Amino acid sequence: MFSAQNGSRQRLEMFCGDVRKLNHLQKKPLCHEKKSSYRLWFQLLVLLCLLILCLFHSVCNNTQSRGEGFSLQNKCSRLFVQTPGGNAPPYRVHPKHRLIMLNDMNDNTEPDTVQQQRLQYHEAYPHNYRFVMDNVEVCKVSSPLLVLMVPVAPKDVLARDAIRATWGKDRVVQGEMVLTLFMLGLDNRHDVEKLQQENQQHNDLIQSNFLDTYLNLTIKTMVIMDWLATRCPSAAYAMKVDSDMFLNVDNLVIMLKKPGIPQKNYLTGMLQGNVPVIRDKNSKWYVPEEMFPDPQYPTYTLGMGYVFSNDLPAKFVDVSKSIKPFNIEDAYIGMCIKKLGLSPTFPPDPSQFKAYNSRYDRCEFSKIITYILGSSETLKKYWADFKKPGPHC
C-alpha cells in the first residue's frame, strides 16, 4: 500500500515537473520577444534624439544668417560676417554686447519670408533694417544746407519737444534751409499710435526696426547714414547731434559758409586722438578684444555732435561692410573714415565745440556751437535766457 502511494506520488511529481518545464519553454520565447521589442524602441528613440539635434543645429545656423535672426527669441551665440566672396572667417560677438533686433512691431503685413531676409555683412550694416516710419518728402521740397539728425529713444518725448521749442525750431537759419529730424528704433514699451500721432503733427520722426538700446547706437548711427544717403542726398552737410545738447545753429551755419570749408570728404567736431580702448568689464564703454583688438581707437569726433559733408554717409555705409561692428559709435565712424583713407578735420575754431560747461554764461553760449547739458528742462531754461532781447556780451 505504501509502495503504491509512493509510486503515485513520484508519478505526480514527474507530471508537475513536466508541466513546469513546458511552462518555462512557453514563456522563454515571449520574454525574448519583449526584450527584442524594448531594444527596437530604444534604437528608435536614439535615432529620434539625433534627428532633433541635427534639426536644432540646422535652425541655429540658418538663424544666424538672417537679418531678423537677431531677435529677442534668438538663442544662437555666433554672428557671421558675409562678404561677396563668402570667404570671411566667422567671429564671436561678446554676449554683453550682442546687437539684437526686434521683429517689426508696427507692420505685420509682410510675409515671414520677407521679414526674415538673409543677413548681409553684419548686424550694424544698415541695409539689414527697414524704415517703419519715414518722412521721405522733407528733402524733396527744397535742398537744405544742413540736416540735423538727432538719435533719441521713442519714449523721450520731452527731449524732442524741448528741441522743437529751442534750437530745432527754425527752418531758416542765416538765410539757409536747416532741417531737424529724430531717429528712433523700436521699443515695445512705447505706444506706437502715439508716435504716429506725434509724427503727423511734426513730420520729423524716422523709425527703423532695430531694437533701440544703448548698445545698439552703432546700428542707429549707420541707419542715420543710410537715410541721409538714400532720402536726402541733395543736402550739403549733416550733423549727428545728441538730444541732450545745447546747439548754437547760427554759429554752425556761419562756420559752414566760411570760405575754404570743404564740400566733400569733410568730417569735423571735437576731435579725440590716442584714446585707449576700455577693457574694464564694469565700464559703460567696455569693448572686448574680440570685438576691437587694437589698444587704441583711431582719431574720431566726439559723438555728442559731429558735422560732415553729405557725400560721406554713402561712403560710410559702403566701407562699413568690411569693418567689424563694436558698440562705441563715434569711434566706429572714426574707423570708417580711416578705412576710406581720410581723416577728421579740426573746425576753424576748435573752441566752439565744447563738452560740459560748469555754469551758464550768456556771453559764452553766444560764441560756441555745442555744449552738453543735463536735461531738457535745462535746455529750455538756458534757451529762454539766451534768446531774450539785448546783447549777449
Q: Is the pLDDT of residue 261 over 80?
A: yes
- pLDDT tens for residues 324-374? 999 999 999 999 999 999 999 999 999 999 998 889 999 999 999 999 998
Mean pLDDT confidence for 140-153? 93
* CA–CA separation, 358 and 364 (whole Å): 11
- pLDDT tens for residues 35-80? 566 667 777 777 777 777 666 655 444 444 333 333 322 333 233 2
Tell me how crowded residue 3 is: count the other CB atoms within 10 A of its CB. 7
- pLDDT tens for residues 90-110? 223 333 334 443 333 344 444
Q: Is the pLDDT of residue 142 over 50?
A: yes
> How much is the pLDDT for 54?
63
Which residue in 137, 161, 219 sits closest to 185, CA to CA?
Answer: 219
Q: Which domain holds residue 368?
A: 112-386
> How much is the pLDDT for 51?
72
* CA–CA separation, 129 and 114 (whole Å): 12
Confidence band for 191, pLDDT divided at 50, 70 and 90: confident
Q: Is residue 344 part of a domain?
A: yes
> How much is the pLDDT for 76?
30
Q: Is residue 87 part of a domain?
A: no
- pLDDT tens for residues 284-309? 999 999 999 999 999 999 999 999 99
Mean per-residue pLDDT of the chain: 81
Mean pLDDT confidence for 161-178? 97
Mean pLDDT confidence for 189-205? 92
> How much is the pLDDT for 133?
96
Q: Is residue 317 part of a domain?
A: yes
Q: Is residue 286 part of a domain?
A: yes
Q: Is residue 262 part of a domain?
A: yes
> How much is the pLDDT for 304?
97
Strand ranges in the chain using DSSP code E only, listed in sequence order: 131-133, 146-151, 172-173, 176-186, 205-211, 237-241, 245-247, 267-268, 271-272, 300-301, 305-309, 353-356, 370-372
Q: Is residue 36 part of a domain?
A: no
Q: Is residue 97 part of a domain?
A: no
Percent of the chain with pLDDT over 70: 73
The phi, psi pair for 184, rounded to 5°, reads -125, 150
Residue 120's domain is classified under what CATH number? Answer: 3.90.550.10
> How much is the pLDDT for 113?
43
* CA–CA separation, 144 and 41 (whole Å): 73
Q: Is the pLDDT of residue 182 over 80?
A: yes
* CA–CA separation, 286 and 97 (whole Å): 9
Residue 31 in 3-state DSSP? Answer: helix
Q: Is residue 278 part of a domain?
A: yes
> How much is the pLDDT for 36?
60
Which residue in 359, 367, 358, 354 sits closest to 393, CA to CA?
Answer: 367
DSSP 296: B
Which residue in 114, 190, 119, 130 sits closest to 158, CA to CA?
Answer: 190
Domain total for the chain? 1
Q: Is the pLDDT of residue 145 over 60?
A: yes
* CA–CA separation, 143 and 141 (whole Å): 7
Confidence band for 84, pLDDT divided at 50, 70 and 90: very low
> How much is the pLDDT for 180?
98
Helix 217-231 crosses helix 312-319 at what angle (to 10 degrees)? 130
The predicted model scores a pTM of 0.72
* CA–CA separation, 319 and 300 (whole Å): 16
* CA–CA separation, 352 and 208 (whole Å): 32
